[in-house]
Amino acid sequence: MPSQTRVRRGFTRRFTGTAPSLLAGAVLLAAAVARAACADTNFVRRFASGGRYFYVVKDFALRDPADYETVTMPSACQCRKRCQVDPTCQAVSAVPSVAGGGVECRTSTTPLQLGDWSQRPDLLKTPGAIHILETDITAWEEPEIDGMFYQYRDAFDYSYCRTGYERATAKSSVQFDIFKRKFDELRTILGLNCMWTGLRNVYTSGYFEPVWDSSTTAPPLEPRHFNDSGIPYELLTNRQISCYYIMITSGTGFEFLAKRGPYRCKSLCQANKLKLQWS
């Protein structure tokens, strides 16, 4: 059987046969797109094909024209194939065309290093679009239901997160559910009973008001009132001091305690590794 050579980002693979990767990739893509389209919650899916690793993001597309080339294609699968046969293509968005059918196919060559998520191009909320992003296995993590990535860090105060991560905020009820689950993990798996958060007291018009911190990466970027996430006011303790809150065990549940000064807990950190933008 004839041999063929595939070049991909600085390395060469030789294999025999009739290059089944395009067909297999198309089948896996169709399945991943179908799962994303039918999902009510998780809009980010992962799949692997031929030793390569991908994210599929529903209803998002490459945002900045400087980051991509565009051409009209008959379907999302053919758009994906266009990226597959181009060794410099790292990501592709299929956006429904407003005229004439087909899709607007946006292909991008960034990031140059697959595992460098800090260099990924921004994605904009685009109803009906499908975005496929290649990564390497070291960066092929499972995101949470909000599309963000979370991790715990040892901390004496609220400030310590790894580069690219920030203090986690719960600016929606979905994110508050993530907080509760993460805190349950700390208690049941690690045996810990406190967790630093991005909730803090801000002095405004003569009194302190609990707000979720501003962000440089995870939308919405601006501070938000604590109850945007549906947290009951009675779960907040020490509301009259200027400091950040920790989530602590209280009876059979939890509460948020404003804590000043060093206090050793885990800090919950958050990163927008897929560069998702809602507006």
Q: Radius of gyration (Cα) for the chain, nearest Å?
A: 22
- Residue 125: CB atoms within 10 A of its CB come to 15
Instruction: Look at residue 16 and give its three-state secondary structure.
Output: strand
114 and 162, same domain (yes or no): no
19 and 115, same domain (yes or no): yes
Task: Decide if 144 is inside a domain.
Answer: no
107 and 153, same domain (yes or no): no
Q: How far is C-alpha 243 from the geometric centre of its chain's CA atoms?
A: 28
128 and 199, same domain (yes or no): no
For the chain, list the strands marked E by DSSP: 3-8, 11-16, 44-49, 52-62, 69-73, 91-96, 103-108, 123-135, 149-155, 166-167, 194-204, 207-212, 224-225, 236-237, 244-250, 253-259, 265-271, 276-277
Q: Residue 256 has what pLDDT?
A: 94
- HSE at residue 66, side-chain half, CA atoms within 13 A, is 3
Q: What whole-number distance in Å separates Cα of residue 86 and Cα of residue 108?
A: 10
- Of 110, 139, 168, the domain-final residue: 139
The CATH number of the domain holding residue 263 is: 3.10.100
Find the domain containing 226 and state its range: 149-277
87 and 178, same domain (yes or no): no
122 and 179, same domain (yes or no): no
- Of 139, 162, 197, the domain-final residue: 139
Domain count, the chain: 2
Peptide bond before residue 220 is cis, with ω within 30 degrees of 0: yes
Q: Residue 41 has what pLDDT?
A: 61
Q: Residue 144 has what pLDDT?
A: 95
130 and 156, same domain (yes or no): no
Q: Residue 160 has what pLDDT?
A: 78
83 and 110, same domain (yes or no): yes
The CATH number of the domain holding residue 76 is: 3.50.4.10
- Of 80, 111, 139, the domain-final residue: 139
Low pLDDT (below 70) residues in the chain = 1-41, 158, 252
